Structure 1
């Protein structure tokens, strides 16, 4: 009997579960306990050369309850697998399958450069709170 080969998606999820995510931006908590990520505006290099430095306000990204919980766990101390387990314990049926949902959310955060991920916890930068 041949052993079933893992799909590429399962491999990616398994790899991500071993990583340590860490926040790149500051955040604050609103009156409902939800996290608001403060994203600095990026300036175009051409505008920097031509125009005086404008005072661009920072962008604000509001996370839902689940996203807020995951964001607060992205401290460089928890692996994605740990975060997924904590998420499953806290939100149970709302986040099934927890591993996949956690990985997809963190991949989006990584793509937008809200977080960095590390293979080991040995030398990640510390999060300033």
Structure 2
């Protein structure tokens, strides 16, 4: 039985249009997550969960976030990261794929394959 292997380098990340983000004067991105579904409303009242969460990205994550333009593949993003950070980005592909899949699993981005 073989598992289907995903080649994330061909995938094109697309930012979730419902995620607001801010850039500070140092170029660091903070994502603003608004909780407004029914379960979130209940949790806000019952457990005092705040209606918004803020996720501050590091310099690498901020750079990648700004490079995501809904057209570049993960491979193309890796070239941008390598050009900007050089050897500081290593191990580049592993880190980038892990970061992008975390964004996807949290619904901050979704994928389209091969620009289609």
Normalising TM by the smaller chain, what interval?
0.7 to 0.9
RMSD between superposed Cα atoms in Å: 2.4
Give 1:1-129 correspondences, 5 Å limit. Answer: 12=6, 15-24=7-16, 25-43=19-37, 44=39, 47=42, 57-122=51-116
Given that residues 40 and 58 in structure 1 are in contact (C-alpha distance below 8 angstroms), is that contact kept between their aligned partners in structure 2? Answer: yes
Unmatched runs of 5 consecutive residues or more in structure 1 = 1-7, 123-129
The 3-state SS of whatever aligns with 2:71 is coil
Given that residues 85 and 98 in structure 1 are in contact (C-alpha distance below 8 angstroms), is that contact kept between their aligned partners in structure 2? Answer: no
- Bigger Rg, structure 1 or 2: 1
- Between the aligned partners of 2:103 and 2:89, the Cα distance in structure 1 is 17
TM-score (norm 2): 0.79
Q: Tell me which stretches of 4 or more aligned residues in structure 1 moved more than 2 Å.
A: 45-48
TM-score (norm 1): 0.72
- Between the aligned partners of 1:65 and 1:27, the Cα distance in structure 2 is 15
The 3-state SS of whatever aligns with 2:84 is helix
Higher normalized strand content (fraction of residues): 2
Unmatched runs of 5 consecutive residues or more in structure 2 = none
How much has 1:45 moved relative to structure 2? 7.1
Give 1:5's aligned residue: none
Given that residues 12 and 72 in structure 2 are in contact (C-alpha distance below 8 angstroms), is that contact kept between their aligned partners in structure 1? Answer: yes
